[in-house]
Structure 1
């Protein structure tokens, strides 16, 4: 790990310790499994991924990457948590998932290596875990082909998000390990929109993700006060 890599060693260690539990549906990663169909359908409804070249930045154990490959996409998942990547690779092998590969590389390094390569780029639940989220947004934009789509999801820095996503989910309900999210690292939609504009991405769609902790039901809505997603597009004439 060098000072030039846009990653927090403590964050990487945190997720590495849990790597063996990525595909345990009753583990700390259960919420990611439960929201994955919603995320996948939303992405596929805006930018159909079958037959497309797709990049998943911050793929972790491969929950989204694996499901996109099963939709018929050619997927590359990248992350800097090597243990999580090994779990993702093992799951793909055991499940017989075709069309997905994994690499340990930063978004910025991959953008320098393969600019304007991917039809669709996803970066979900990752921006709030890096020191410089604007740098990741810029790298994702650079990796997309002209006219390509870039999707982000993260958590709003709001009082409601603090109470529900941190106090509620981590300390009261135990849905996530304590310390998974740090309030000061959360990102307001206005801030993410500014990062996207600076990277040359046009914001096309925004959706909120809501949750009922009693019924464990998740649904998409227009409420972006806690969890939210952006669908952005790289202008067709851009390089």
Structure 2
């Protein structure tokens, strides 16, 4: 529990009842989720029958979509209210191959090392004090040959303009204060943590937003939002 920011937990707990409202503060997550899911399957292959853990699952938007693809999914988070919303939505939707637990990534890594075919940690690392610890936990959780996926925000001036000034203050896509610039992560930093954790970086993609069409798309520009696919070495 040391790698947690109480203010960040409180922030997302206060918004927990809005997780599944596509017109709420979580609208961007609903809109980018098909892109995230498609990219995961493009890299790792079909999720049917695969054992998956979603780190920092929040209200379960990505976790539930992976379960709908046939994966056996465990979503974990430390925000109790968000997990309750996720559990209720899964129950109402009749998604059986989906479980949720209130547990830290590091604790789960000690409990269940090397048990997951796919590990996802999306839009989460920029909200914790020690993101390198999360990367190590994700690597530990993955099976040899398993896939690990991250998404986060580049720490450089363009990202400050787009992700904070643009998304939070000008366009109102996110609540003000959602992100803190100092916690953004450079791709070189994430790549270094992955190497130290025994992960081989396979693919990197950027994610952009067009304010005119109001649509997100994956592209080659990693200067703001970006996604990374890694693979744990096979024995």
TM surpasses 0.5: yes
Cα contact 1:170–1:178 (8 A) shared by 2: yes
| 1:127-142 correspondence to structure 2 within 5 Å | 127-142=125-140
Q: Residue 3 of structure 2: which of 6, 22, 28 is its match?
A: 6
Q: Which residue of 2 aligns with 1:34?
A: 31
Q: Which residue of 2 aligns with 1:23?
A: 20
Q: CA deviation at 1:5?
A: 2.3
Cα contact 1:5–1:106 (8 A) shared by 2: no
Deviations 1:46-71 (A, max 9, x none): 11211100000000000000000000
Q: Which residue of 1 aligns with 2:109?
A: 111
Separation of aligned partners in 2, 1:138 and 1:40: 23
Q: Which residue of 1 aligns with 2:183?
A: 185
Deviations 1:110-145 (A, max 9, x none): 000000000000000000000000000000000000
Q: Residue 65 of structure 2: which of 64, 67, 72 is its match?
A: 67
Cα contact 1:118–1:145 (8 A) shared by 2: yes
DSSP 3-state at the match of 1:54: strand
Cα contact 1:70–1:98 (8 A) shared by 2: no
Deviations 1:21-41 (A, max 9, x none): 000010000000000000000
DSSP 3-state at the match of 2:58: coil
DSSP 3-state at the match of 2:158: helix
Give unpaired runs (5+ residues) of structure 1.
Answer: none
Q: Which residue of 1 aligns with 2:159?
A: 161
Give unpaired runs (5+ residues) of structure 2.
Answer: none
Separation of aligned partners in 1, 2:185 and 2:211: 23
Separation of aligned partners in 2, 1:229 and 1:61: 20
Q: TM-score, normalised by structure 1?
A: 0.97
Q: Which residue of 2 aligns with 1:194?
A: 192
Q: CA deviation at 1:213?
A: 1.7
Q: CA deviation at 1:45?
A: 1.1
Deviations 1:206-226 (A, max 9, x none): 000011122111111110000
Q: CA deviation at 1:96?
A: 1.1
